[in-house]
Amino acid sequence: MQGRIDRFCSALVPRVPTGQRVLDLGCGSGQITRAIASKGWRTTGCDISTQMLDKARSETGALEIEWVGIDPAETLSLPFEDCRFGAVIASSVLEYLDHPRQALREIGRVLAVGGYLLATVPDLRHPVRAAEGWRAKAVANPVIHAAFRLTPWRGYADYLRLSMNRLDLKLWHEMARSVGLEPEPAGPCEDSLAMILARKNRDPLP
Ligand SMILES: C[S@@+](CC[C@H](N)C(=O)[O-])C[C@H]1O[C@@H](n2cnc3c(N)ncnc32)[C@H](O)[C@@H]1O
C-alpha cells in the first residue's frame, strides 16, 4: 500500500497544486485518501461500501476529509457539482465497474478544466496478469466458479470474476479520449498495476 500511496502522490505533485480538491473515487478504507489529505490537498473520499466508509471515517484522526457514500443504484451519477475537483483518483476501481465508459464521463464532468484523472488498472503487460487472463476466463464459467467457491481459492476466484474489465492500456486510453480526457503516453510496465493519467482540456466534454 505504501508503494501505491507514493505512486499517487508522485503523480499528483507535478500536476495538481496542493490546496486543490481531490476526489478519491472508490476510496475503500481510505488509506490513499488520508495520505493525500495529510500532504495538503482538500480531499473527498467516496465509496459504495458503507462498511468501508465507516472504517475510513473511524480512522480520519485530525485530518479534514469529506466522506461521501455513493448509492450503488446511482453509481453512474456522482453526487458532486460539475468541475469541482482538480483531480480524481481511482485506485483499482475502474476494472470493477459495469459501465466504465459512463464512469469516465462522470469523472470528466466533476473535473475542473485542467484537472486530472489518475487511475490504476491491471497492467496486462505484466506476467501476473497474463496468468490471470486464462484463470479469469475459466471462472467466468458459473460451474467452474461454483466449484472454486468450495475451495480455499474462493476469494481469488471471486476477485477474478469481479475485476472484469481487463483491458489493454490502449483501450483505456481510447475510452478516456472518447469522453474528452486526454491521456498521457503510457509509461513502461512497473508492476502489475498501470497508471492512467488523463487531463481534462476543455468543457463541456463530448
Ligand atoms: C479494490 S478496492 C480499492 C480500494 C482503494 N481505492 C484502494 O486502492 O485501496 C475497490 C473499491 O471500489 C469500490 N467501488 C466499487 N464500485 C464502485 C462505484 N461504482 N462507486 C464507488 N466505489 C466503488 C469498492 O467498494 C471498493 O472499496
105 shares its domain with 147: no
- pLDDT per residue as tens digits for the range 18-66: 999 999 999 999 999 999 999 999 999 999 999 999 999 999 999 999 9
Q: What is the residue-averaged pLDDT of the chain?
A: 93
**Count of Cβ atoms closer than 10 Å to residue 84 Cβ:** 16
191 shares its domain with 131: no
- Give the domain range for residue 50: 2-124+167-200
Ligand 1: lining residues by beta carbon, under 6 Å? 25-28, 31-32, 46-49, 52, 70, 75, 91-93, 96-97
Ligand 1: centre distance to CA 27 (Å): 6
- pLDDT per residue as tens digits for the range 147-186: 888 899 888 888 888 888 889 999 999 999 999 999 999 9
Q: How confident is the model at residue 75 (pLDDT cuts 50, 70, 90)?
A: low
Whether 114 has a pLDDT exceeding 80, the answer reads: yes
- The domain tally of the chain equals 2
Mean pLDDT across 58-83? 91
What does 149-185 look like in DSSP terms, one character per residue? Answer: TTSTTHHHHHHHHHS-----HHHHHHHHHHTTEEEPP
**Count of Cβ atoms closer than 10 Å to residue 145 Cβ:** 16
The CATH number of whichever domain residue 103 belongs to comes to 3.40.50.150
111 shares its domain with 172: yes
89, 96, 156, 159, best to mutate for ligand 1 pocket (most atoms within 8 Å of CB): 96
154 shares its domain with 176: no
